[in-house]
Amino acid sequence: MLHSPLSMGGTTPIYLDANATEPLRPAARDALLDGLSIEGNPSSVHAAGRKARSLLEQARRSLAGAFGREADCCVFTSGGTEADTLAVHAFGKHAGRRILIGATEHDAVRRVAPHAGVIPVNEQGVIDCSALEALLVEAQKAGETALVCVMAANNETGVYAPLEDIATLCRQYEAFLHIDAVQAAGRMPMPGQSCAEWDYFSKALEGGFLKEASLAVSAHKMGGPKGSGALLLPEDKPLMPLLPGGGQERGRRGGTPALAAHMGMVAALQESQKQDWVAIATLRDQLQDVLVAAGAELVGGKVARLPNTLNVILPGVASQMQLMMLDIAGFCVSAGSACSSGKVARSHVLEAMGLGERAGQALRVSLPWNVTKESVEAFGNAYIDMVKHFSERGLVKAPQVCAQREV
């Protein structure tokens, strides 16, 4: 039997799927409840409406300021998908730009731009900047400007994009840059933390490389409530809205703002910036060593990654079989994005990295903000037992790629 928190007398599964959604942070819950107690509509002119409006604008200032933007550059949305969709429509389709997206982008971008040019990635999942430049040159020769859409950090592998290089190319070729920062935004370190080896997003922000880019963020990936997000613009400007509605968000996104959820998002972001991400990265690396020693292949392990994310392949064993066994044992992990209607399908991210059929044999382990050392150790033991179980049945194959982590 697998080592299991349930078989050992526990009643609650161990949650290690933070990239699908982080557990709600206590401060975010408090802010959410405070917001729910507000009676007024932020668009109303009476006293209750003015109070709601004041809190909404306070949240807007806080969120925008965290990313070096002015308050009027923040457009509140229902989440990261809406923010990405709004950006692609406004800066790509409506603006008549040629759309270029990374091969490992989230479906929030891929599905809204199905005919976009695709920027390939290397075997570690890093955007190929030479290929991007070639696509930008091609667009320029055709007399077109481009919209480039890339993820700050991939949701399945945790791999960071080379944001400074990408932003430099976009500036050189007068392309507009949109960053899906949904996974990276809530995992920025607090000042003074030694995270230079992985925190490409904060470095690019602080260096001014992203000042001309738009950013999509989402509350529940920070430990906030589901149903809140934002598109952060490089400057205060009008947009062609997807939802005209009643002209809220200065005509850029109609609909009554989800004040309570937006307040919860800001509180979650503020708490996430106090998180000791070095400690979480240490736990991730310790678990990584255990899984690799058990026979797993490490995905994207030679480049900068999110501090909480680990993607491993168990050669020869389908992801669904692994998920079922671990779920029964009391562990919540995933095979990749949680945005596919609950399906377990081969990852387009890992296929783009050239992993072929092994793309259907991967697990993503993403440590939440409240993870414990005991939970990580329990999962490591359960994974070892799982590998033994499948090995005894002749299913596990020898690893095919180097799993050594680059330090």
Secondary structure percentages of the chain, helix, strand, coil, to 5: 40, 15, 45
For residue 229, what are its two tokens?
């997000």
Task: Specify whether the CB–CB gap between 228 and 311 falls below 8 A.
Answer: no
Phi–psi pair at 405, nearest 5 degrees: -80, 135
The SS3 of residue 101 is strand
Specify whether the CB–CB gap between 232 and 69 falls below 8 A. Answer: yes
Question: Among all residues, which ones are annotated catalytic?
Answer: 339
C-alpha 251/C-alpha 249 separation (Å) is 5
Q: Return phi, psi of residue 87, to 5°.
A: -65, -45
- Give the DSSP letter of residue 24: P
Q: How many residues does the chain have?
A: 407
Is the distance from CB of 242 to CB of 253 less than 8 angstroms? yes
How many angstroms separate the CA atoms of 255 and 72, rounded? 17
Per DSSP (E only), the strands in 74-114 are 74-77, 98-102
The DSSP-derived string for 218-286 is: EGGGTTS-TT-EEEE-SS------S--TT-TGGGTS-S---HHHHHHHHHHHHHHTTS-HHHHHHHHHH
Token pair 């899984």 is at which residue? 291
